[in-house]
Structure 1
């Protein structure tokens, strides 16, 4: 069941000029934030900092505690322990002043199926006490255009595909300017073209000054669109920071392209390269530890000296997935 503010609110509305500014340079901060359901620990002592102006990726497999965390941040559920602040105000205590400055799409949009997309947006806008009714239609049309739903605006929401519903839910969060936009799996149900459009929209919103907090289980989505990220697993925070630094924390892999894979694998192992894997005409491996940094020129000479026909050789940049594997010792379920 969609979890939203009000019935069926997808995010609180209001002019971002109202209320206090966030303290310092962060828009979200948590300290030892914890949520327990009976014996199940859904979120375990989470301490998170989301910088102002960032596109912050909240990354983790399905069931890692991402949505539970977002629900606590938005004041939809009470934490068991710990504290959270959004835009410099404590949550959930200050939700009446905070939520009008936040747009949110959590666990999918809650829509009136018997109303058209356009009518849904007008209904959402009418629920905002700060919205000028004289410009309601203009706001709805602008939001529909921004998410690519103008052509389907007159169609009943119950006839929308999952991807179209996601777009309409995002449109509800864009009826007013926002200081913070919280999106829980926003590309869920979208085809590749729709995913690219939503990612482009997120970048555009960030360029306009909106901080975007984006949860996802898709590693490539986080790498493509986010400036900062946090990695969750089994309710616990594994790491957080700039995306480039998180990926750099995992060492890249040596890659040799050659038809002589067996000989190449042998030479790499002899020079301390670990986890050597042969895939078709590629041989990859982890460089030796920091006390034995490989000299690529020496390795190349060793390969050539062993009669290996080297067609390509270098170090492949570490990815966010490499960082996740390094942190957890296990793979990442990108399919959810």
Structure 2
């Protein structure tokens, strides 16, 4: 297991960090410690996945980064500026979808976006209709633009909230569960949109309870548990560091499972002619030799590549229903 990440002092802040926190802490009244000494670094141009079990402090962190609540201690910088102190200068460059969109149900999807845009003092009213139309098209809502928002499904509401975040060019996009409520096709479209935005130079910071989604779309990831940062870094490196499962293919699965258990393997699962297990702390060649010596007919033997899910469970000791 990796050691918890430690951060640098403020004067050592990475030059290309779009988000950088140092010792960021939030303690609520009553003593609840929601975020504890967070040192987070989000590189420019990354698609950064933010993971953690329920109550791990993800949403509290996002709210502090957006200037919605003040930290108890520590610092946060977004686009190189301190928040919440410089929030007025920073937030026009940030698109955000946090805890679901707030919509006027009696207005159409298009009119909701027109209201959102009119509330932005930096928005040019002359280009407003064109930008609203482009945002609706980008999230696949053009056909439903005239429908009242109260008639939208949860997935359509998510799309409209994302459209609101895309009304202006953004250097940073912060998304809290962006595919919540979407069907598989909608999820694929949003993932493609996130990749497109990143390729255009927008840094995307997203939380999700879907590890598969993070693994498919994100370049970097951070894992939170109990208010503390457990690890952060490139997704490929984190997944590669996870210990894969041992897989044995054999017409003698029961005998193979017995031998593997004797050698110290755990969490054995038999499925047809496949036996999988958490590998023992031994040279795989020795385990394979033990199987052959015991008369097990080995047709296949190897370690599956570790996944982000494997890494997450190893780091937090928890499963992956991690919306929090």
TM-score (norm 1): 0.87
1:267 maps onto 2:259 in alignment:
yes
Q: How does 1:113-152 map to 2 (within 5 A)?
A: 113-152=105-144
1:48 maps onto 2:40 in alignment:
yes
Q: Who is 2:194 aligned against?
A: 202
SS of structure 2 residue aligned to 1:307 = coil
The superposition leaves residues 189-233 of structure 1 with CA deviations (integer Å, 9 ceiling, x where unpaired) of 111111111111111110110000001121111111100000011
Query: 1:299 offset after TM fit, Å?
Result: 4.5
Q: How does 1:321-336 map to 2 (within 5 A)?
A: 321-333=309-321
Check conservation: 2:246, 2:279, Cα contact below 8 A: yes
User: Structure 1's 276 and 168: CA in aligned 2 closer, same or farther, altered over 3 A?
Assistant: closer
For 1:191, which of 183, 186, 205 is the aligned residue? 183
Q: Who is 2:26 aligned against?
A: 35
The superposition leaves residues 229-255 of structure 1 with CA deviations (integer Å, 9 ceiling, x where unpaired) of 000112111111111111122211110
Q: Structure 1: how far apart are the matches of 2:120 and 2:77?
A: 23
Q: Structure 2: how far apart are the matches of 1:226 and 1:335?
A: 17
Check conservation: 1:50, 1:56, Cα contact below 8 A: yes
Check conservation: 2:53, 2:318, Cα contact below 8 A: no
Q: Structure 2: how far apart are the matches of 1:214 and 1:165?
A: 17
Q: Who is 2:239 aligned against?
A: 247
Q: How does 1:168-187 map to 2 (within 5 A)?
A: 168-187=160-179
Check conservation: 2:210, 2:320, Cα contact below 8 A: no
Q: Structure 1: how far apart are the matches of 2:181 and 2:49?
A: 19
For 2:284, which of 271, 280, 294 is the aligned residue? 294
The superposition leaves residues 246-303 of structure 1 with CA deviations (integer Å, 9 ceiling, x where unpaired) of 1122211110123311211233345x452150232221223343xx4322xx644543
Query: 1:177 offset after TM fit, Å?
Result: 0.9
Q: Structure 2: how far apart are the matches of 1:28 and 1:226?
A: 16
Q: Unaligned stretches of 5+ in structure 1?
A: 1-21
For 2:306, which of 290, 294, 318 is the aligned residue? 318
Check conservation: 1:75, 1:95, Cα contact below 8 A: yes
Total equivalences in the alignment: 310
Query: 1:165 offset after TM fit, Å?
Result: 0.4
For 2:77, which of 61, 70, 85 is the aligned residue? 85
Q: Unaligned stretches of 5+ in structure 2?
A: 1-12
Of 249-258 and 87-96, the range deviating more from structure 2 = 249-258
Q: Structure 2: how far apart are the matches of 1:283 and 1:215?
A: 34
User: Structure 1's 31 and 163: CA in aligned 2 closer, same or farther, altered over 3 A?
Assistant: same
Q: Structure 2: how far apart are the matches of 1:40 and 1:334?
A: 19
1:26 maps onto 2:17 in alignment:
yes
Check conservation: 1:287, 1:293, Cα contact below 8 A: no
1:277 maps onto 2:251 in alignment:
no
SS of structure 2 residue aligned to 1:214 = strand
The superposition leaves residues 55-89 of structure 1 with CA deviations (integer Å, 9 ceiling, x where unpaired) of 00000123221111000000000111111000000
RMSD over aligned CA atoms reads 1.8
Query: 1:309 offset after TM fit, Å?
Result: 3.4
